[in-house]
Amino acid sequence: MTALLTVDHVNKSFQGVRTLTDVTFDLEPGRILGLIGPNGAGKTTMFNVISGIYSADSGRVLLDGRDITNRSPARIAGYGVGRTFQVARTFNDMTVAENLRVALVNAGLSGREERQRIAAMLDRVGLTGVRDLMVSALPDGQKKLLEAARAMMTSPRLLILDEPFGGVSAEVIDLLISIIRGLVREGVGCLVISHDIVSLPRLCEEVLVLVEGKVMTRGAISEIRNDARIVDAYLGA
């Protein structure tokens, strides 16, 4: 099967400090890949390179074979990459429904279609009851949920989620896992960064381990758990 995402020998430095070194991996459609590693391993930097927030010094990022390296975040999103952030970047001065509406401005929908899509998404993520609340009034967990919902509104082919379970209640984690699994069944590819070693195995079977900006290994979570090098890397961090 053709890879949905290909990261090909990507390097990235900040003021001479190597953050990513020769990172290479791929992801097929309808699969979830966890990205783990100690703090400072380059996980979020990798996400930022994929989504165009940082430009790669060298190497390529391909989406469905199309070279998206160093394109703008807006263009990359237009190609079908949706993402969330470690700290939710919701529009706090708007209502929950308005946040979702922003994600549809490029969809060319009529007002009625737009309302239907928003209502369906709110129902899917369980935020119907707070649709007219200002986002600033929501707890962090619901903001995370809203941000994920907003990313999903753009109908991405690749969804990249940065710490989706951080600061989120057990109920919301269950809901998020079920939603992401649903999307993946529809053929969406998903990359997830998480430090939550309890929730991550419930979401994905395979992980990529980054340590000091390099890919240490990739494999099933059950195998990785017993890998002495990874235990050392985490404990050493």
Partner 1 sequence: MTSLFKNFRFPDRRALVICALLAGLAAIPSLVGGRYIPAVFTSILLFFILGALFDFMLGYLRIVNFGIAGFLCAGAYGSALSVQYFHITPWTGLLVGGLASAVIGLITGVLTLRLRGIYIGLTTLFVMETLRFAISNAREVTRGASGLTVGGFTPLFGMPFPRSEPITYYYIILALVIVTYAVLYAIVRSRIGLVFKAIRDDELGTSVLGIHVVRYKLFNFVVASFFVGVFGAFYAHYIGILVPTAEEFGIQRTVEILTIAYVGGRGTLWGSLLGALFLVGMQEVLRDLQEWRLVIYGLSLILIITVFPSGFAGALRQLGERFSSRAGKGAHISTKGDA
* Sites of contact with partner 1 (CB under 8 A): 51, 53, 72-75, 77-78, 82-83, 85, 89-95, 98, 101-103, 105-106, 108, 110-111, 114, 132-134, 137, 150-151, 154
Indicate the helix (H) or strand (E) that contains 98. helix 96-102
Minimal distance in Å, beta carbon 187 to partner 1?
19
Please give the Cα distance from 5 to 27 (Å, whole number).
Answer: 5
In the bound state with partner 1, the residue whose beta carbon lies nearer, of 122 and 230, is 122
In the bound state with partner 1, the residue whose beta carbon lies nearer, of 83 and 211, is 83
Please give the Cα distance from 82 to 2 (Å, whole number).
Answer: 20
Please give the Cα distance from 231 to 181 (Å, whole number).
Answer: 28
Minimal distance in Å, beta carbon 143 to partner 1?
11
For the sheet with 206-211, list strands across it: 81-83, 158-162, 189-193, 32-36, 206-211, 214-220
Minimal distance in Å, beta carbon 111 to partner 1?
5
Q: Can you give the C-alpha Rg of the chain in angstroms?
A: 18
In the bound state with partner 1, the residue whose beta carbon lies nearer, of 192 and 211, is 192
In the bound state with partner 1, the residue whose beta carbon lies nearer, of 24 and 136, is 136
Relative orientation angle of helices 111-125 and 170-185, to the nearest 10 degrees: 120
Is the Cβ–Cβ distance between 41 and 212 less than 8 Å?
Answer: yes
Minimal distance in Å, beta carbon 72 to partner 1?
7
Minimal distance in Å, beta carbon 139 to partner 1?
13
In the bound state with partner 1, the residue whose beta carbon lies nearer, of 45 and 199, is 45
